[in-house]
Structure 1
């Protein structure tokens, strides 16, 4: 049981770090005008956060629909990001 608690704690720490990283990137861009624009990383970050939530839900023993919802959200964010990139590439931007 201790191992599951440690895994959940580690996943929570990684989720918090990812959110803080996103806020830091956004704040840096907002204050300096340099760095990545949020549109360049937001969907990738959302996809990754949803994957982390799916793993956390599975490790926590939540019902499988919660895992499926998190995985579906991750797939949707990833698909949206890929379609944006392909569209932008076709337009030559």
Structure 2
């Protein structure tokens, strides 16, 4: 079953599952008041998604500048997350 999946498809599936997870966590907190607030995980989630997008364009053999763009975006989101947590 797994033999038929390309690397790009696997990365796409992981990206999709991550987006669904983020939406599920946000909706759960919104409707119940329990769980993690979206503000506590959104920037971290964006950082991870940017890393996955960098991997996605790398396995698709896209131009190198797209990889650099997504890695820079991941770094920016990571620094933002650290800065927000440090202020607390």
- TM bucket by the smaller chain? over 0.9
Larger radius of gyration: 1
**Aligned position for 1:52:** 52
* Residue 81 of structure 2 corresponds to residue 73 of structure 1: no
Partner residue of 2:23? 23
Gaps of 5+ in 1: 89-93
The question of 1:8 aligning with 2:4 is answered no
Runs of 4+ in structure 1 off by over 3 angstroms are none
**What is the TM-score with the length of structure 2 in the denominator?**
0.93
With the length of structure 1 as denominator, give the TM-score of the two structures.
0.88
How many residue pairs get aligned? The number is 85
Structure 1 residue 35, shift from structure 2 partner? 0.5
* Cα offsets for 1:26-51 (capped at 9, x unmatched): 00001001100001100110000000
3-state SS of paired residue (1:55):
helix
Counterpart for residue 42 of structure 1:
42
